[in-house]
Amino acid sequence: MKIMKFLSLVAFAALMVSCNGKNGVTNKPLETELDSVSYAIGMDVANNVKRSFDEFDNDLFIQGFVNGSDSTNLQIDAAKAQGLIRAYFQKKQQEEMAKRKEEAEKSKAEGEKFLAENKEKDGVKTTESGLQYIVLKEGTGAQPTTDSKVKVHYHGTLLDGTVFDSSVDRGEPTEFGVTQVIKGWTEGLQLMKEGAKYKFFIPGNLAYGLNPPPGEIKPNSTLIFDVELLEVK
């Protein structure tokens, strides 16, 4: 179980502190490979603590470790302690799930409203799946299929204009298989020909759905892409 492995690492760090008979920072120099490894483990534990806890009392943690190691002055029964840990992380998980659900419902509603208004605008076409697009420039070259690999330039934004990914900004086009991307891209690319520039408005269910990559994209987000199809391979 990841939680228990993590807590074991934290306990190891506390053991090092308690064995030195100090609760403070020693600023001991790193003179050997083992010194560096020991220090790196401590840093890794600290980073895990910061990611897992919004608030964490180092002194009480060390106190609990010391009391538990010599079975004296225990303020919580050992069996109860395990239950507290499980309950805490279960609560955190439930809170995170509730937050993601709220974000997903909000993003879905915002996307549906935007797409309903957008489809009435001049030049906007809507496919059967719900993908919307505008032809900025038609191409005259090859048209990709699901078996194709393509070279493109793109600029992706959220509905509020936030840029989350852009090969244009990086100054370097990218290549990938037509089926190696989100559904909206797979469908949209097959509407284009080499040399074309389209703007895609991709509903959340054709984008990342409930599992977006880390970053600015929320669950069920509608995404906007300017795409230039440079080459079909």
Return the domain boundaries, the chain.
Answer: 2-75, 116-232
In terms of Cα–Cα distance, which of 180, 182, 123, 179 is closest to 156?
A: 182
In this prediction, residue 126 carries a pLDDT of 98
Query: For residue 193, what are the CA distances in angstroms to 44, 131, 179, 189?
Result: 49, 18, 16, 8
Residues 33 and 41: their CA atoms lie apart, in Å, by: 12
- For residue 27, the model assigns a pLDDT of 78
- Distance between start and end Cα atoms, the chain: 46
CA pair distance 199, 93, nearest whole angstrom: 38
Q: How many Å apart are CA 202 and CA 9, to the nearest integer? A: 44
Q: Taking the model in full, what pTM does it have? A: 0.70
Using a pLDDT cut of 70, give the percent of the chain over it. Answer: 88
Query: Per-residue pLDDT for 139 more than 90?
Result: yes
Cβ count near 162 (within 10 Å):
11
Which tens digits make up the pLDDT trace of 34-82? Answer: 988 888 877 887 777 777 777 777 777 777 767 877 777 888 887 788 8
pLDDT score, position 114:
98
- Domain spanning 116-232, CATH class: alpha beta
Just list the catalytic residues: 154, 164-165, 182, 208, 225
